């Protein structure tokens, strides 16, 4: 899955679900992997455990109690979502050595940690990641799950959802980015059986702000599946409706037009300022498309005979980068694959693409600080991390680590380090691996 790491354009996705199985709503259909891209977005649906009663929102757990408070007061107890008053008491990051210049997040025996979808970003100095945890020996079906947004030093935001009865469905989708979260929630009303969408902005500190409520008739039987948060627009992909929407100034309007989302295939949304960008996966060639609130989608950049994929934007440097594939052979393989970059411009007629380097087959990458990083498997070295410098085209390779498996997602890059989502094996316990850039050799 391709991830943003820019200050504004990067987002993190959590999905919390409770209640009955939302059959037919999983729009993340497997459409075939391209460059290792995950074509099946997990909507986090649960299948309805027994009624465990209303959540315990006021239990006193002593000095380690995060002090949970309800986000919304008007939803049924089974759809309750709570925010920690003291998020730093949920996940406490502790780091251990995994070799020279390498650290990894140590497990906590009290909890089991996993990724619903690995995400992360950097503000230029500090890296952030999103992870969820449940008490050890339990699952997200039988126990309350806590989704956290943490930096390398502390947890900044924590949301808790409880398993509930099977008479209704709630779907929570939250995107984290640069000091805040933007959350949408779908509540299937028990009587009418229709959706009610709500969008709310959640800063790390301070009250939540409602942004928009969306009736079901605007997005019939669909899920706000993925999104990107810019300084002036929140771009969301709605599936299986197959459309790109913009949320701005309290309204939600379509902007994808004929170049909007493709049914069942994630479009890799990005946002920078008031501009949304995405990849139009509707044909043999894949162009980069752009749109703004109230305007239909239009071609931002296209190359005849090529797939433009793995796109990312870096707000700090004003850079856009993408991989350009020719002669698709299936299973994420191309006859030729190249890395390209350009300065971001509002008018696509002013775009000046520049070739950076030829690439071998590998995952789509993450852009930040003038570096483009991705996971790649080399026959002689195994599955590791490739980092390409946009200015020089030189690359470095980070070897695999014994006892740790990379998940396929680069979480962030900044001036000092690169971080990757990983799992401790054989326990399959989620972790984060951080490697100092000054320990790498570019050639």
Model confidence pLDDT, tens digit, residues 323-332: 899 988 877 7
In a domain, 430, yes or no: no
Q: Average pLDDT in the 223-242 region?
A: 75
Model confidence pLDDT, tens digit, residues 165-186: 545 556 666 665 555 666 666 6
Q: Environment class of residue 428 by beta-carbon count within 10 Å: exposed (0-12), middle (13-18) or buried (19+)? A: exposed
The reported pLDDT for the residue numbered 405 is 92
Lowest-confidence segment of 156-160, 251-255, 346-350 by average pLDDT:
251-255
In a domain, 380, yes or no: no
CA within 13 Å, CB half, 198: 16
Q: Average pLDDT in the 192-219 region?
A: 64
Q: Average pLDDT in the 307-316 region?
A: 81
In a domain, 404, yes or no: no
The reported pLDDT for the residue numbered 46 is 31
pLDDT(99) > 90? yes
Lowest-confidence segment of 38-47, 83-92, 158-167, 194-203 by average pLDDT:
38-47
Q: Average pLDDT in the 123-128 region?
A: 82
- The count of structural domains within the chain is 1
In a domain, 27, yes or no: yes
pLDDT band at 55 (very low <50, low <70, confident <90, very high): very low
- From the centroid of its chain, how far is CA 147? 13
Domain containing 197 equals: 12-311
- From the centroid of its chain, how far is CA 398? 23
In a domain, 337, yes or no: no
pLDDT band at 30 (very low <50, low <70, confident <90, very high): very low
User: 245-251 long-range contacts, Cβ below 8 Å, gap at least 24?
Assistant: 245/219, 246/276, 246/291, 246/292, 246/293, 246/294, 247/199, 247/211, 247/212, 248/274, 248/293, 249/293, 250/211, 250/212, 251/212
pLDDT band at 297 (very low <50, low <70, confident <90, very high): confident
The reported pLDDT for the residue numbered 94 is 97
CB–CB of 135/111 below 8 Å? yes
Q: Environment class of residue 34 by beta-carbon count within 10 Å: exposed (0-12), middle (13-18) or buried (19+)? A: buried
In a domain, 103, yes or no: yes
Which residue, 367, 405, 338, is CA-closest to 2? 367
In a domain, 374, yes or no: no
More confident residue, 133 or 266: 133
User: Beta strands 155-161 and 169-177: pairing type?
Assistant: unpaired
Percent of the chain topping pLDDT 70 = 70
In a domain, 299, yes or no: yes
Greatest mean pLDDT among 186-195, 245-254, 317-326, 434-443 lies in 434-443
pLDDT band at 26 (very low <50, low <70, confident <90, very high): very low
pLDDT(59) > 50? no
The reported pLDDT for the residue numbered 334 is 86
Q: How far is it, in rounded angstroms, from Cα 156 to Cα 349?
A: 41
Model confidence pLDDT, tens digit, residues 407-417: 877 888 888 99
pLDDT(19) > 60? no
The reported pLDDT for the residue numbered 198 is 67
pLDDT band at 38 (very low <50, low <70, confident <90, very high): very low
Mean pLDDT of the chain: 75
């Amino acid at each position: 899955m391709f991830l943003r790491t820019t200050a504004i354009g990067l987002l993190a996705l959590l999905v919390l679900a409770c209640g009955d199985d939302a059959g037919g709503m999983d729009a993340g259909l497997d459409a075939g992997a391209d460059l290792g891209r995950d074509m099946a977005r997990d909507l986090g649906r649960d299948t309805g455990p027994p009624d465990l009663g209303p959540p315990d929102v006021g239990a006193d757990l002593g000095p380690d109690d995060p002090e949970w408070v309800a986000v919304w007061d008007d939803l049924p107890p089974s759809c309750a979502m709570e925010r920690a008053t003291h998020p730093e008491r949920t996940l406490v990051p502790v780091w251990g050595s995994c070799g020279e210049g390498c650290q990894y997040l140590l497990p906590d025996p009290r909890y089991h940690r996993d990724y619903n979808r690995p995400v992360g970003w950097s503000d230029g100095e500090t890296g952030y990641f999103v992870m969820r945890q449940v008490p050890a020996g339990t699952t997200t079906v039988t126990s309350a799950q806590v989704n956290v947004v943490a930096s390398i030093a502390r947890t900044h935001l924590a949301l808790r959802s409880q398993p509930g009865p099977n008479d209704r469905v709630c779907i929570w989708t939250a995107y984290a980015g640069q000091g805040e979260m933007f959350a949408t929630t779908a509540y299937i009303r028990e009587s009418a059986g229709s959706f009610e969408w709500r969008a709310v902005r959640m800063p790390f500190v301070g009250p939540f702000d409602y942004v928009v409520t969306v009736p079901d008739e605007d997005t019939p039987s669909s899920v706000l599946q993925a999104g990107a948060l810019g300084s002036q627009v929140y771009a969301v992909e709605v599936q299986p409706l197959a459309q790109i929407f913009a949320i701005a100034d309290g309204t939600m309007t379509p902007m994808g037009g004929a170049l909007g989302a493709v049914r069942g295939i994630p479009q890799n949304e990005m946002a920078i300022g008031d501009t949304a960008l995405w990849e139009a996966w509707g044909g043999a060639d894949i162009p980069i498309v752009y749109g703004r609130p109230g305007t239909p989608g239009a071609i931002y950049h296209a190359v005849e005979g090529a797939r433009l994929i793995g796109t990312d934007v870096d707000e700090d440097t004003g850079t856009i980068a993408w991989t350009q594939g020719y002669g698709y052979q299936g299973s994420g393989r191309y006859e030729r694959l190249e890395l390209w970059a350009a300065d971001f411009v509002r008018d696509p007629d002013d775009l000046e693409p520049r070739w950076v380097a030829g690439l071998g087959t590998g995952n789509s990458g993450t852009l930040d600080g003038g570096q483009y990083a991705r996971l790649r498997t080399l026959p002689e070295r195994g599955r590791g991390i490739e980092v390409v410098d946009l200015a020089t085209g030189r690359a470095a390779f980070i070897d695999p680590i014994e006892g740790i498996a990379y998940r396929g997602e680069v979480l962030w890059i900044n001036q000092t380090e690169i971080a990757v989502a990983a799992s401790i094996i054989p326990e399959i316990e989620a972790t984060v691996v951080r490697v100092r850039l000054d320990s790498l050799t570019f050639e």
